[in-house]
Amino acid sequence: MSRVGKIARRTFLIGSAAIAGGVAFGVYAARQPFDNPNLDDLPEGAASFNPWVIVDSEKVTLIAPHADKGQGIFSAQAALIAEELDIELDQVEVSFGMPDKAYYNRALTEAMAGFPLHDTSPTAERVRGFVGGVVKLAMPMMTTGGSTGVPDSYDKLRQAGATARETLKLAASRQSGVPVAELRTEAGAVILPDGTALPYTALAGLAATLPPVTDVPLRDPKEWRLVGKPMNRLDMVAKSTGTLTYGIDHRAEGMLHAAIKVNPRQGGALKGYDASAAQAMPGVKKIVEITGGVAVVADNTWRAFQAAEAIAFDWGEAPYPAEQAEHWAHLSGIFDDDHLNAEARVEGDVEAAEGEEVRGEYRSPYLAHAPLEPLNATVLVTDDRVDIWAGHQIQMFAEQVVSEITGVDQENVHLHNMFIGGSFGHRLEFDFIRQAAEIANQMRGTPVQLTYSREEDFAHDFPRHITMGRGVAKVKGGRVTALDVQIAGQSVMRSQMGRMGLSLPGPDTQLHEGAWDAPYFNLPNLRVRSYRTEALAPVSSWRAVGAGPNVFIYETLLDEAIHAAGADPLEERIRLMGHDVSVKVLEAVGELASWNGPSAGPGRGRGVAYGFSFGVPVATIVEVAATDAGIRIEKAWVVADVGKVIDPVNLENLAQGGTVFGLGHAINCEITYADGMAEQTNYHAHEGMRMYQCPEIRFKALENGAKIRGFGEPPVPPSAPALGNAIFAATGQRIREMPFNKFIDFL
């Protein structure tokens, strides 16, 4: 590995200063594409023009390497390739392919350059390009996360399709003698001027001998057949018939099933155990030790669960405060210079600004990811090869982890990525992969499927970080004149990267994400400071990460200020907003909801909130009715600007789902610790939202943004403050802490 590689691997690159400070690298090298991994085992007569397209005499295969945990990126990737390849989606086979650095995520580094994502100035773009180049050389990460699946794929996969198409045309030209310029392509075939169709499959052999045609211009979006139009997602029929194979559904000859019990005090030691009763239970094949716990291998998952329950354990203490109250007490004590993460934004002078003061303290609890498919992985270890069947979002790192455990070279460790039954960030973690490998390594030659019980899944989640916010706003003359926001929380990135053996020097931008970059440019006095701790429970990225808690804090404080100023919540936000794309989003949500102020009749209220995350401005209006039995959330209107819409139907689904996710957790959910253990053990205590609480949700997408953006996470942040603001409008009760059901009943 190069020196740059070593430096960057040890000190993950964040911010332009770190890079500009001491690293030199070749622009040329950064621009070189990685080798096409498909060429390694390509059969005779098959052609692969780039890592995403394979054509043989039988079929056309598209590689869609981003992990699909429900967001629909599998179909989106296929559509982007097929758009330029001129093939229909029912004519191709689509595969996740095998992990390779050729599939590294180009969009992931965009947020690392130290500029807010709404800043698309030449300087910001130049630094982003620089950071991207360094990271590509040092640590090309194949990963799905940070709502980057679409932005990473958008140009790259259309280019892949176009390259393949032009190369196939060249082959057709060679075969037919007709100049390329007279050829066209349609439905998986090159069409000669006389109408003869030469299927791509028939051209594969010849095309394989030609150098791929590159530098093909991309089509004008006006010509698109697939992209931008409502799609039938490729996984929809399978997901509606129970025929889709998730990781948990993988079956192999001779496969055994494993269950684990690991210290429920996260990271605590295994001091002792007695498995004699479990050993004698039906179907139990073997009981093995793993890091921090014990695994039971049996012939059936349920039998493994039963036997794991029958083991008596002596667990060590938690390496963090045992009781929840201590966690909050700790956070309330870190608003000081010693814990300063960053003074992330300063405009004007919040202290000198004049006006009536509005103060608030806000809390956002720990939250479990709890995707419906429990964590699972199937691993087969032999002496010279390991196969893993599991859904994971950082595929090659998972392979590396397994390589380290088994001693098998990473190039012989193969992760077969599977469809994922929800993640919300949990499939960025490695515990379940590590444990499955530890078990299978002690059962060499036998495929072993580890399935977490739901209780184990809750106990060993790395939840969303708890956050405490303190804010002071000033209002004068019917306007908001100043916001001073302080946010204290655990560093998610340090916690998460620490488990990957990576360190994060400098501030964790997630601690002020969604607050420092909220483009209320017309607010004359603004300060955003964040404070960092790592002394609490281990935490992980939870859908929208920092923006979730931070937008709740920021937009609730802002709403309180607007109320004190006597202004209209939507109009004042529009006035303060200095970012045109966001202004249009706010205006559009007002139109969609026919906004006429926060009052919506007796006992009814409307609240609005704006959130900027992952480059996407989203505005949400929620309407509630206060009834004798509690608050009923009746309607929500959501408008977002994603730059360019790939599939309007799927986008609407994500908007609705993200809003449900945000609202449900805001009203119903928290993880609390007692005796070092999460008190919530299953969905009865942490359900998110169920249908009866789900409002009608209307959505509109705008396309004014300068860049295409991903939408898996951005709908989440504004939903909670929009709801809290609506409850205030309906009842006069201001709720500053989630979950709201601690303070008010919901139907």
* Residues at the site binding another protein, with contacts judged by CB under 8 A: 69-72, 230, 232-233, 235-246, 248-249, 251, 257, 282, 299-303, 305, 370-374, 419-424, 451, 453-454, 649-650, 653-654, 656-661, 664, 681-685, 687-692, 694, 696-697, 745
CA dihedral 688, 690, 692, 695 (to 10 degrees): 60
CB 90 within 8 Å of CB 233 = no
Q: Report in angstroms how near the CB of residue 688 gets to another protein at its nearest.
A: 6
CB 490 within 8 Å of CB 472 = no
Q: Report in angstroms how near the CB of residue 373 gets to another protein at its nearest.
A: 5
Q: Report in angstroms how near the CB of residue 369 gets to another protein at its nearest.
A: 9
Q: Report in angstroms how near the CB of residue 166 gets to another protein at its nearest.
A: 33
- Calpha distance 67→64 (Å, rounded): 8
Q: Report in angstroms how near the CB of residue 198 gets to another protein at its nearest.
A: 30
Q: Report in angstroms how near the CB of residue 458 gets to another protein at its nearest.
A: 10
Burial class (CB in 10 A: 0-12, 13-18, 19+), 58: exposed
- Calpha distance 491→650 (Å, rounded): 32
- Calpha distance 2→5 (Å, rounded): 5
Helix axes 3-10, 122-138, angle to 10 degrees: 100
**Facing residues of 358 across strands?**
473
C-beta of 469 vs 611, nearer to another protein: 611
- Calpha distance 626→257 (Å, rounded): 49
C-beta of 175 vs 653, nearer to another protein: 653
C-beta of 295 vs 654, nearer to another protein: 654
For the chain, the helix, strand and coil percentages under 3-state DSSP, each to the nearest 5: 35, 25, 40
C-beta of 375 vs 574, nearer to another protein: 375
Q: Report in angstroms how near the CB of residue 97 gets to another protein at its nearest.
A: 20
C-beta of 128 vs 543, nearer to another protein: 543
Q: DSSP assignment of 313-379, as one string? A: EEE---SS-SSHHHHHHHHHT--SGGGEEEEEEEES-TTT--SEEEEEEEEE-BB----SS--EEEE
CA–chain centroid gap for 392, Å, is: 12
- Calpha distance 655→712 (Å, rounded): 8
Type of residue at 301? T
C-beta of 209 vs 240, nearer to another protein: 240
Strand order in the sheet with 189-191: 184-186, 189-191, 197-199
Q: Which helix (H) or strand (E) holds 667?
A: helix 648-668
Q: Report in angstroms how near the CB of residue 682 gets to another protein at its nearest.
A: 6
Q: Report in angstroms how near the CB of residue 132 gets to another protein at its nearest.
A: 30
- Calpha distance 296→479 (Å, rounded): 63
Q: Report in angstroms how near the CB of residue 262 gets to another protein at its nearest.
A: 18
- Calpha distance 302→306 (Å, rounded): 6
Q: Report in angstroms how near the CB of residue 353 gets to another protein at its nearest.
A: 40
C-beta of 512 vs 543, nearer to another protein: 543
State the first-to-last Cα distance of the chain, in angstroms, to the nearest integer.
59
User: Can you give the C-alpha Rg of the chain in angstroms?
Assistant: 27
CA–chain centroid gap for 353, Å, is: 38
- Report the largest interatomic distance among the alpha carbons of the chain, rounded to a whole angstrom: 81
C-beta of 84 vs 623, nearer to another protein: 623
Q: Report in angstroms how near the CB of residue 628 gets to another protein at its nearest.
A: 13
C-beta of 96 vs 305, nearer to another protein: 305
CA proximity to 544, closest of 470, 618, 601, 602: 618
- Calpha distance 505→360 (Å, rounded): 31
C-beta of 153 vs 423, nearer to another protein: 423
C-beta of 257 vs 464, nearer to another protein: 257
C-beta of 184 vs 251, nearer to another protein: 251
C-beta of 128 vs 233, nearer to another protein: 233
CB 659 within 8 Å of CB 715 = yes
C-beta of 154 vs 305, nearer to another protein: 305
- Calpha distance 328→341 (Å, rounded): 18
Q: Report in angstroms how near the CB of residue 138 gets to another protein at its nearest.
A: 33
Q: Report in angstroms how near the CB of residue 59 gets to another protein at its nearest.
A: 19
